[in-house]
Amino acid sequence: MHFGVLGSGIIGLTTALELQQQFPTAHVSIIADRFNEDTVSYVAAGIFRPGTSFMGPTQEITQQWMTDAFNYWDDIRRSKEAPLAGVCQLSGYIYSRTTPSIVRNHFIEKLLPVYRRATEEELQLCHGGWKYGSFFTTCLTESRLFLPYATKKFLDNGGKVVRQHVQSFFDVPQNFNVLLNCTGMGAKDLCGDQHLVPIRGQVLKVRAPWIKTAFYGDLDTYVLPGFETVTLGGCRQYDSYNTEWCKYDSMAIKERCYNLLPSLKNAEIVRECVGLRPHRSVVRVEPELVSNDQGRHLKIVHNYGHGGYGVTTAPGTAKYAVKIVRDMLAGNSKL
């Protein structure tokens, strides 16, 4: 059995590791043209906090993705691997001045160990005159650490990595039993998928070791402490393909975060990054049989379109995608 995984971001790597776990005797190859700091995954703050509009094929399946993903990250957090994998626990507040529903989240209110309404005193912890708020405890996965950790684990398990850009699924170097398509925004061209839209984001990574708590405010403002840096964000620019850093976005992010926590004005800026979130109204995790003009057929399982929540949900959709692989091989899939 030989599986190919197209893509080496957080989705490709978690899918490749899940394949190795479910099919221990199979050969698994990752094919990708970008790795580590060149992926969108590297830009993410990595907090486990899905948006309430995140959607899989059904509500039930989506909730299962969340549960599986949280358990995966939380198991690593509890293990001795946590510092190597870049997984830690993080607590924080979501505030809003205007909209009570912003501070509620049906996916995680029951899943996280702590998710409760913020007290009146807690609404005063930050500048801004906050009216609504929630306090929660979750996981954070720092891709800067997790991507190389997962790659090493994959290679130690006997996996193979190939650097290659593919124009079509039939460009892959081998005849795989099943190819898993984990290409994020790359799937737009590979699948001709009009439903896949970039949502551009920009963040600052600053050194502020005195910030130990996460804060979200209105207008996509967030302060998320990670292992070495704190991520300040953000912006969400729908259908923008601009991967260049923008000084106006940077100024706006600084102003909003500095208003929230003025001590951040003293923080050294380590780097600023831009990423295009691969957004799809329904995240695509499903099988497809693809054929070309030469009569070649390829069994594909897609796993892309996670938008702003790919780190959160990666292990959940990876588990689901590999279950589809098993069904496909057993002849039980809907194809």
Exposure class string for 195-211: b at 16+ Cβ within 10 A, else e: ebbbbbbbbbbbebeeb
SS3 196: strand
Q: Would you say the C-alpha torsion 316, 321, 325, 330 has a positive or negative sign?
A: positive
Q: Which stretch binds ligand FAD (CB under 6 A): 104-112, 239-247, 272-280, 316-324?
A: 272-280
User: Is 133 within 8 Å of 123 (Cβ atoms)?
Assistant: yes
Under DSSP, the state recorded for 85 is H
**Interface with ligand FAD (CB under 6 A), residue from 5, 16, 47, 191:** 47
What residue ranges in 187-243 does DSSP mark as E strands? 196-207, 214-217, 221-225, 230-233, 237-238
Q: Does 321 bind ligand FAD (CB under 6 A)?
A: no
Q: CA-to-CA distance for 148 and 153, rounded, in angstroms?
A: 9
The count of other CB atoms within 10 Å of the CB of residue 309 is: 23
Q: What's the full length of the chain, in residues?
A: 335
Could you tell me the smallest distance in angstroms from the CB atom of residue 39 to ligand FAD?
3
Residue 45 makes contact with ligand FAD by CB under 6 A: yes
From 31-39, 126-134, 248-256, 288-296, give the range in contact with ligand FAD by CB under 6 A.
Answer: 31-39
Preceding amide of 9 cis, omega within 30: no
Determine if 15 is a binding residue for ligand FAD (CB under 6 A).
no
Residue placing its CB nearer to ligand FAD in the complex, 199 or 329: 199
Q: Does 203 bind ligand FAD (CB under 6 A)?
A: yes
Q: Which is nearer to ligand FAD, 33 or 327 (CB)?
A: 33
Does 184 bind ligand FAD (CB under 6 A)? Our answer is yes
Q: How far is the CB of 96 from ligand FAD (least distance, A)?
A: 18
For ligand FAD, the binding residue among 20, 29, 39, 229 (CB under 6 A) is 39
Nearest CB to ligand FAD, comparing residues 46 and 128: 46
CA pair distance 257, 271, nearest whole angstrom: 16
Looking at the Cβ atoms of 41 and 221, the one nearer to ligand FAD is 41
Q: Which of 23, 27, 33, 61 binds ligand FAD (CB under 6 A)?
A: 33
If the CB atoms of residues 185 and 260 are measured against ligand FAD, the closer one turns out to be 185
Binding site as annotated, residues for FAD: 33-34, 166, 183, 307-312
